[in-house]
Amino acid sequence: MAIESSRRHCLLTWLSADLGTLEQHDSKRITEDGAEAIALAVPHESKAWHVVRRLQQGEHADWLLEHRSNDVRKLIAFEVGGTDRRGIAALLREKLAQVAKSIDVDHRCAGVVGFKQPQTALQSVEMPTRVH
Amino acid sequence: MSIETLNALVSGAIWRAEQLDELGLETAPSAWMEVSKLEEEIAKITPAKEAEGRIARRGAVRAAFQANDPVRARELVERYTAEKGIPKSLRNDLRGMLKADSDELSDEFPFAAKHNKPNDVRMLANQLRECGPFGLVA
């Protein structure tokens, strides 16, 4: 698990599912949903960020998250990616480039999950705040 | 309804609309209309000076276009841009959405765009898509 520039290992556990029903599921959907679940859990666990709402495509991020500290609320645009075929480095770059376009937030961040080799990364983009 | 409830509802509605869109199902526009109305509700209780208010206003307009209802999109833009104290950036974003829609139509139907108002071009384009070229004559 790579959180910004620090790396650590963690144990991820989940309820087992009946693989006999696997054919009922769309493999792309499973990857996306799995990536989203893990990617949202990571910033919650590591940075105490909470989900506010899902965002539409034109907002350049999948989720709007929040961080509250000393009565100050900061909004985070969070873009998620997942892959079961390749490494996560290139995907992380793509997602960072996308979320960098997001506006009206205090912070921009991307979270990607790889299933081929179990790994996840969370990285922020530093961008100037838009003047209204 | 509280902002937390509306945020939960709009999150589910966006997810559904995106899935239906991806599958190319006919019900996708009505799912986007639900998104647009929920975003509109969020916009009613969140001022444009707040980030979430701006996100909701853009979302209401964007989803109205996705729902193939440019008349509603245009009305929302007019309402939001007339609000007092609306940030210039939001006004530009909303007007930009209208322009992008008009440009898209002009590219697809240059002759109609040259001789008709944007709403009329949109109506003719919808009629053409639904009924074919003979439908325009009927």
In a domain, B53, yes or no: yes
Helices (H), chain A: 27-47, 89-99
ipTM here? 0.85
Q: Does B111 reside within a domain?
A: no
Identity of the highest mean pLDDT range in A7-11, A124-128, B65-69, B125-129: B65-69
Q: For the segment B42-93, what is each residue's pLDDT rounded down to a tens digit?
A: 999 999 999 999 999 999 999 999 999 988 999 999 999 999 999 999 999 9
Chain B residues 36-65 with CB within 8 Å of chain A: 51-52, 54-55, 58-59, 62-63
Interchain CB distance below 8 Å, A132 and B89? yes
B43: closest CA among B85, B76, B78, B89?
A: B76
Question: Distance between CA B10 and CA B128 in Å, rounded?
Answer: 32
Residue B124 lies in a domain: no
Quote the minimal CA–CA distance from A59 to chain B in Å.
8
pLDDT at position A65 is 98
Residue-level pLDDT at B135: 67
Residue range of the domain that includes B74: 3-98
**Domains (ranges, CATH) in chain A?**
27-125 (3.40.1350)
pLDDT on residue A107? 95
- pLDDT in the model for residue B136: 64
Q: What is the pLDDT of residues A35-91, one digit of tens each?
A: 899 999 999 999 999 999 999 999 999 999 999 999 999 999 999 999 988 889 999
Report yes or no on B43 lying in a domain.
yes
Q: Which residues of A touch B51 (CB under 8 A)?
A: 75, 104-105
- Across the interface, which of B54, B59, B90 has its CB nearest the CB of A56? B59
Work out the average pLDDT over A104-124. 93
Cα gap A45→A49, rounded to integer Å? 8
pLDDT-above-90 percentage for chain B: 67
Q: Is residue B135 part of a domain?
A: no
| Contact yes or no for B52 and A105 at CB 8 A | no
More confident residue, B20 or B121: B20
- Tell me, what's the pLDDT at A128? 56
Confidence bin at A130 (pLDDT 50/70/90): low
| Within-domain flag for B15 | yes
Cβ distance of B58 and A105 shorter than 8 Å: no
What domain count does chain B have? 1
Tell me the backbone φ, ψ of residue A83, rounded to 5 degrees.
-145, 145
Q: Does B2 touch chain A (CB under 8 A)?
A: no
Please indicate, yes or no, if residue B62 is contained in any of the structural domains: yes
Maximal CA-CA distance, chain B: 50
pTM: 0.86
pLDDT number for residue A23: 81
Strands of the A119-125 sheet, one edge to the other:
A6-7, A2-3, A119-125, A107-114, A72-83, A63-69, A50-54
Q: Average model confidence (pLDDT) for chain A? A: 89
SS3 state of residue A106: coil
Tell if the CB–CB gap between A53 and B15 is shorter than 8 Å: no
The closest CB to that of A105, out of B14, B15, B51, belongs to B51
Nearest CA in chain B to A66: B52
Q: Decide if B129 is inside a domain.
A: no
B103 or B18: which leads in pLDDT: B18
In the block, tokens 């509306």 appear at B6
A10: nearest Cα among A42, A33, A36, A34: A42
CB interface of B with A, residues 61-80, below 8 Å: 62-63
Q: For an interface test with A, which of B1, B55, B61, B89 has the most A Cβ atoms less than 10 Å from its Cβ?
A: B55
Q: What is the mean pLDDT of the segment spanning B96-124?
A: 80
